[in-house]
A and B are shown apart, each in its own frame.
Chain A
């Protein structure tokens, strides 16, 4: 097999909704608040803390702060998606990177999901599954209208094809 030296997958064309940044930030903030609340409650009943409890909580807090400060923008830069008549392609992750491609002819279901907080930001996630449990393709945090369009497009294309290669 000949491997060209500089072959790569181009990034998918579209970004997710810009409101996703705010959404990720708010959910990070919420989980940070929950952790602080729990830690405070535990501290009130049980103190002084041994060093390992302090270290563990400290590490958790630092991680949550990173999630709050850095993750949303980084993630927005990396999360991308694209749908062609042939395939759906997404890229996600912020420290790790995950690229997924599924041919539309093998798609079995197209689901949308809007969590309570996501609805506040008019966001919507699409999950496309194939016959393999290892291959669901998720587009996180699309603009609600875009999501509706994409789902309509996907169902139209997948409805036309037969067979799921099981």
Chain B
């Protein structure tokens, strides 16, 4: 991350232009550290209190004052500044850290505010650069300061970005930093003052594909009917189950759940007819899930706005905790449309952008679970109206299907062996159960293989390479062909025998590669050759034509 300061120029300001984080962090930092330490502290208090006689008195000031000191450190030690050519941040007390990012390397700026931040009027800023996946974090600035920083950084980046990497079709309105008032009086970045969002020409439908202009263009807003998709998205379920698990754990620590109470509950339960209880229980669980999922969805995606302005794409959302992601449009190398099995049944989909230096692993969520058609349309407008999200994909043929089945069965066998080896070794008389379980695994593997094969495919449009894959989560990735910076053709021993290959298009954006699995070798070569004309040309030919030195 620390690039040699090649063109570092002395800055004119007397203090070198250095700025600190917002002073309110002196309050927020300690509070947050205390909050983070609350659970361990409670457990320690209770634990020690129960196990030994009582906590030594000298520990109390450490438990209380330690977090306060720790919490103020970031404010005391962090400084940042913007010079002519770069963005710098210094931080750390013992391990000094100096981050320098050239301004033309700034790819994305994210603003994030937790509930605590919102109450205090603060915003956390994360700056993504194309260099690697680490991002420069400023935690936190005031709302207006953060918004100002976002505009300055992106304007500077857009101005300095020249040369072959910029897409001509979507050339950022480089000299247009003032599409939104960079004024310090803006209270809330989620609600830009009315005149700036000139949406007069845009119909009420949340999407439309007019040519790029420098005036803000609203790509999508939250439609409350999308709430119906919330229960079908299971990613939140993991969070909920995790929370329940943590609660049980805590209950265990605090001895809320004791042998007596469990016994009493069991007696109470057995008093009822068990089937009735099961039905009521599952209905209650389902209803609870629906309510939780919808509430979570609403909290996370409240007031969603996906806006394209001045060569950037910006997503803002959130009710209590807010976040905003701004990515340079020329850095968006593709989009990813994913349809988990449940969501697919109700014709829903999620949309994410592939870019450099954004989100988690280069994939930045743009839309929540929403109707597939909306996701497609928004994605399409990001891909400059390319057909990459609608075009039917080309399947990989019978050999690929056989390969899917073999791979699924091998995986099933391995899984069964690993899980059942120890129990069966200890209790050989359980072999019937083992055999039954393996029969189930075989059936599941057949289904998984069929799903995998059905979803497997690729396509090529004039500007994009499309790969579709996945068994349960059907994912379609469209990658800009100009963003492809290399190819990898992998053939395992068995793939060579079947004449198949895994083709990877490497790229700087997203997961850094787009994989097309189990594609016939000749198709893979032809596809790569067509997608990036010239790159492979010297080597494409008849398979027999070898020449050696």
Contacts and interface: CB of A to CB of B under 8 A. Distances in A.
Secondary structure of the A side of the interface? Answer: loop
Contact of A132 (B165, B485, B493): B485
Interface string A92-103: 000111111111
Given A1-B527, A7-B525, A96-B491, A132 B496 contact: no
Contact of B512 (A9, A15, A132): A132
Interface in A124-166: 130-135, 137, 162-166
Interface string B150-191: 000000000000011100000000000000000000000000
A100 B487 contact: yes
Interface residues on A, range: 35 or more
B546 A10 contact: yes
Nearest to A102: B486
A86 interface: yes
A90 to B, nearest CB: 10
Contacts of A96: 490-493, 496
A89 B165 contact: no
B114 interface: no
Interface in A7-54: 7-15
Contact of B513 (A1, A99, A132, A137): A132
B130 A131 contact: yes
Interface stretch (B260-268, B406-414, B444-452, B536-544): B536-544
Given A132-B512, A134-B512, A8 B525 contact: yes
Contacts of B432: none
Interface string B87-109: 00000000000000000000100
Contacts of B489: 9, 97-100
Contacts of A7: 522, 525-526, 529, 540-543
Contacts of A8: 521-522, 525, 540-543
A13 B486 contact: no
B276 to A, nearest CB: 50
A10 B541 contact: yes
Given A9-B540, A132-B486, A164 B546 contact: no
Contact of A130 (B357, B506, B540): B506
Contacts, number: 154
Contact of B488 (A4, A6, A87, A99): A99
A58 B24 CA distance: 66
A106 interface: yes
A44 B483 CA distance: 58
Contacts of B164: 162-163
A85 B492 CA distance: 30
A120 interface: no
Most buried by A among B492, B506, B538, B547: B506
Interface string B484-523: 1111111111001000000010111101110000001111
B468 interface: no
A5 interface: yes
Contacts of A163: 163-165
B69 interface: no
Nearest to B527: A1
A3 interface: yes
A84 interface: yes
B508 to A, nearest CB: 4
Contact of A6 (B165, B357, B483, B543): B543
A66 B536 CA distance: 34
A165 B165 contact: yes
Contact of A100 (B486, B496, B547): B486
A8 B546 CA distance: 11
Given A3-B523, A84-B538, A133-B512, A97 B485 contact: no
A3 B491 CA distance: 19
Contacts of B326: none
B549 A165 contact: no
B540 A131 contact: no
B490 A4 contact: no
A102 B482 CA distance: 13
Given A3-B526, A132-B507, A163-B163, A98 B490 contact: yes
Most buried by A among B513, B525, B539, B540: B539
B232 to A, nearest CB: 32
Nearest to B506: A135
Contacts of B545: 10
A95 B534 CA distance: 29
A159 B61 CA distance: 60
Most buried by B among A11, A14, A103: A103
A4 B522 contact: yes
By Cβ-Cβ distance, the 6 closest A-B pairs, closest first, are A135-B506, A166-B130, A131-B508, A8-B543, A134-B513, A102-B486
Given A99-B488, A165-B484, 15 more contacts: A7-B522, A7-B543, A8-B522, A8-B542, A14-B549, A86-B535, A100-B489, A101-B488, A102-B506, A103-B486, A106-B486, A130-B508, A164-B165, A166-B331, A166-B508
Interface of B: 107, 130, 163-165, 331, 356-357, 394, 460, 482-493, 496, 504, 506-509, 511-513, 520-523, 525-530, 532, 534-536, 538-543, 545-549
12 contacts: A9-B536, A10-B541, A10-B547, A13-B548, A84-B538, A86-B535, A87-B536, A97-B496, A100-B486, A130-B508, A163-B163, A165-B508
Interface of A: 1, 3-15, 82, 84, 86-87, 89, 95-103, 106, 130-135, 137, 162-166
